[in-house]
Every structure is written in C-alpha cells, then in structure tokens.
A = this chain, B = another copy of it.
Amino acid sequence: MSNNKVMDQIKKILDNHLELKKQRKTPERYAILEEIYNFNHHFDADELYNKMKKSKFSVSRATIYNTLDLLVELDLVTKHIFKNNTFKYEKSFGYRQHDHLILDSDEILEFCDPRIQLIKNSIEKIYDVEIESHSLYFFGKKKKKLK
C-alpha cells in the first residue's frame, strides 16, 4: 500500500513529539492516529469512538478526546465547527490547506482559492496582526436542473 509511507511519517511525528515532551507512547495514541488516517474526510468524536470500539482496539471517550486534542496540537488533525455545535475533525498531514463548501446542510466539498491568502495578507497589514489560521465556509445548495 502506498500510504504506508504517510502512516510511517505521521507516526514518526507523534513519536518525536512524545519523546521530546517526555509523554508516554501508549498504544492507544498510535491506534487512534491510525484509525483517523484511515478515515476519508470529516468525522466527529463519536464516530471515531464507535470505529475504535469495533476495531480490535477499544478505547474510552476520555482517551478519544485527549488524543484528539494532542493531535490537533501537533497539526496532524484539524478541528472544525460547522453550523451545528458538534466538533468535526479531519486528518491534515500532507493535505494542502483547503476550505469547505457545505451543500444542502450535509454534503461537504473542499476547495482551494489563492485569493484567501491575499485577503489574509491585507488584514495582517491593515490591523498589524499576525494571523495563525482561518476558517472559511460557504453554505449553499445545488442548482435544480431544468428538464
């Protein structure tokens, strides 16, 4: 499989961090990271919890949340909040930055537009601030096709 290489890289990142910060290399952390990178796109804590429960490696909710926080901090995972108030997550290593288009409240597409960087640069200059991240969502619906 070609993405074993990605898997190796992200595990290495986690590994390095844990070593550096003298945190424990628990099997749970690696198992969770692996499951997340097997997801294709957005999931929430509960989905991950259930996926883990079905897998050979059952893990508690507390650990799910703890590990998600850790991985977000490491930039291996991105945390979103769309319109409702539950957090959504997605793997982020090796995926270039993108924004989201949400159609009919449930379908999520991704896009990338360089002009967002230009806006960011302007804002930084105008307000004399340093921007660390942004979130841009478009909400819309598919056009009805005329018969």
Interface size range on A against B: 35 or more
- Residues of chain B contacted by A140 (CB below 8 angstroms): 124, 129-133
Of B81, B85, B109, B134, the contact of A127 (CB 8 Å cutoff): B109
Per-position contact with B for A123-144: 1 when CB-CB < 8 Å, else 0?
1101111111111111111110
Known: A101-B127, A129-B103. A120 touches B141 (CB 8 A): no
CA distance A138 to B121 in the complex (A): 11
Task: Give the Cβ gap from A147 to chain B, nearest Cβ, in Å.
Answer: 16
Q: How far, in Å, is A45 (CB) from chain B's closest CB?
A: 12
Of the listed stretches A8-16, A24-32, A63-71, A111-119, chain B binds A111-119
Give how many copies assemble into the complex: 2
Known contacts A101-B123, A101-B127, A127-B101: A136-B139 contact under CB 8 Å:
no
Dominant secondary structure at the A interface: strand
Q: Which residues of B contact A86 (CB under 8 A)?
A: 85
B122 touching A113, Cβ below 8 Å: yes
Once the chains bind, are A138 and B113 in contact (CB under 8 Å)? no
Q: Which of B109, B119, B139 contacts A113 (CB 8 A)?
A: B119
Q: What are 9 sample pairs from A and B whose C-beta atoms fall under 8 A apart?
A: A85-B85, A101-B129, A111-B127, A115-B118, A116-B119, A120-B138, A124-B140, A130-B141, A136-B136
